[in-house]
Amino acid sequence: MTAPADRQLPKQADPSAPLLEVQGLRTQFRLGSEVVHAVDGVSFRLERGESLGIAGESGCGKTTTALSLVGLLPANARVLEGSVRLYGIELAGRSEIGLRRYRWREIAIVFQGAMNALNPVRRIRDQIAEPIVQRLQVDEGAARRKAGDLLELVGIPRARDRAYPHELSGGMRQRAMIAMALACDPAILIGDEPTTALDVMIQAQILELLERLRSQLGLSLILITHDLAVIAETCDRVMVMYAGRVAEEGRVADVFARPRHPYTQRLLGSIPNLRVDRRALDIIPGSPPDLRDPPPGCRFAPRCPVVMEICRTEIPPEVRFADGVRVACHQYPESSDGRPVILPTKEPGTSR
Ligand SMILES: Nc1ncnc2c1ncn2[C@@H]1O[C@H](COP(=O)(O)OP(=O)(O)OP(=O)(O)O)[C@@H](O)[C@H]1O
Ligand SMILES: [Mg+2]
């Protein structure tokens, strides 16, 4: 594997640009004559070596956001708008061939539930070698050797590389999926619920592995999870999504110490102890809107404990606090002259 300092940036990369900058991403699905507004104006940034956690209830658009970045959406989906810049290089709007240079080589993904989708009748090593042949255009022997190296890197001894999926534990299968994603030395690894369905001890081991890979390979991570405790423990930044939009985004320390969006407050407030209750997302009263026909203003308005009239009709603009936390909520004042507002971190009356 390539050490971070030796990693070659892609052609046309601007070394001073952020690693990944997503702006105003909008992705929709077509379902017959209806449209699902799955991702609606999502923006975020990921710097080199950073880890960003994406949280939010089921169906809020976490997976769709991730798949939009690398053009791996299902056939009925379309990215309508937005910019996805990698080292300043625009990826949005590129053709399939144009994207191939960056997918897996720069941004790799461990798909949600993929460890359960392994082929039961093929050896794990061969299943990892196959995409290596395609992505790196090497022969089968070289791909198998690389697969063995990658498996060792993620903690699966070479002696086990001839095992079939059923001979490996869930944790080992997930390690194998991570190995597969690392085949082309990506700069960014996206893990979509990589620890869901694993028991707590194994979850911790997978998170430790991701942490080790981050420091050993200089990886930047996007960790999608409904489990806020995982984000609190492992991420630098957190982005809380609600119904296809960003409710709040900022450094983990700032957001968890002082959540500002009522949704984030409910998420965190409903967890008396992060380590004890991991089903917090299920216990906020009400349910997220149907994204085929979302409410016109703030999408959280129907469930919001501090809803105001304006929330039902107008989309809340994003405001920024002095500590860098971004929040989309009408409670916080917006500038009247169109300039970005910087709110003090400890403004009286805004904390609850
Ligand atoms: N192939 C599809 N066709 C139509 N609608 C889809 C499709 N995939 C997802 N959606 C819809 O898009 C929205 C966002 O889904 P997405 O899978 O991105 O959410 P998620 O946050 O990843 O949820 P989960 O936590 O359950 O994985 C949901 O309303 C979902 O029903
Ligand atoms: Mg998902």
Give CA–CA dist 262/174, Å, rounded: 34
Q: Are strands 20-31 and 326-328 parallel, antiparallel or unpaired?
A: unpaired
Sheet with strand 89-90: strands edge to edge: 34-46, 20-31, 77-86, 89-90
The total of structural domains in the chain comes to 1
| Cα atoms in the Cβ-side hemisphere of radius 13 Å centred on 105 | 15
Residue 352 is assigned to a structural domain of this protein: no
Which of 30, 40, 54, 64 to mutate to test ligand 1, by most ligand atoms within 8 A of the CB atom?
A: 64
* DSSP H helix total and E strand total for the chain: 9, 13
Residue 309 is assigned to a structural domain of this protein: yes
For residue 341, the model assigns a pLDDT of 65
Q: Are 148 and 158 in contact (CB under 8 A)?
A: yes
CB of 31 sitting under 6 A from ligand 1: yes
Ligand at minimal distance from the CA of 288 is: 1
Structural domain containing residue 184: 4-121+164-343
CA gyration radius for the chain? 21
Give CA–CA dist 113/252, Å, rounded: 26
Residue 142 is assigned to a structural domain of this protein: no
Q: Shortest CA distance to 191 belongs to which of 175, 178, 179, 208?
A: 178
pLDDT tens, residue by residue, 40-66: 999 999 999 999 999 999 999 999 999
For residue 144, pLDDT over 70 is answered with: yes
Residue 348 is assigned to a structural domain of this protein: no
Which of 60, 193, 242, 281 to mutate to test ligand 1, by most ligand atoms within 8 A of the CB atom?
A: 60
For residue 219, pLDDT over 50 is answered with: yes
Across 112-134, average pLDDT: 90
pLDDT tens, residue by residue, 252-279: 999 999 999 999 999 887 554 554 444 4
Residue 51 is assigned to a structural domain of this protein: yes
Q: What is the CATH number of the domain that holds 308?
A: 3.40.50.300
For residue 269, the model assigns a pLDDT of 76
For residue 281, pLDDT over 70 is answered with: no
- In percent, the amount of the chain with pLDDT more than 90 equals 74
What's the 37 CA to ligand 1 centre distance in angstroms?
A: 10
Residue 350 is assigned to a structural domain of this protein: no
DSSP-based three-state secondary structure for 214: helix
Residue 199 is assigned to a structural domain of this protein: yes
Give CA–CA dist 80/92, Å, rounded: 10
Across 286-305, average pLDDT: 94
For residue 108, pLDDT over 90 is answered with: yes
Residue 311 is assigned to a structural domain of this protein: yes
For residue 304, the model assigns a pLDDT of 94
For residue 350, the model assigns a pLDDT of 46
For residue 352, pLDDT over 50 is answered with: no
CB of 287 sitting under 6 A from ligand 1: no
pTM: 0.91
What's the 213 CA to ligand 1 centre distance in angstroms?
A: 29
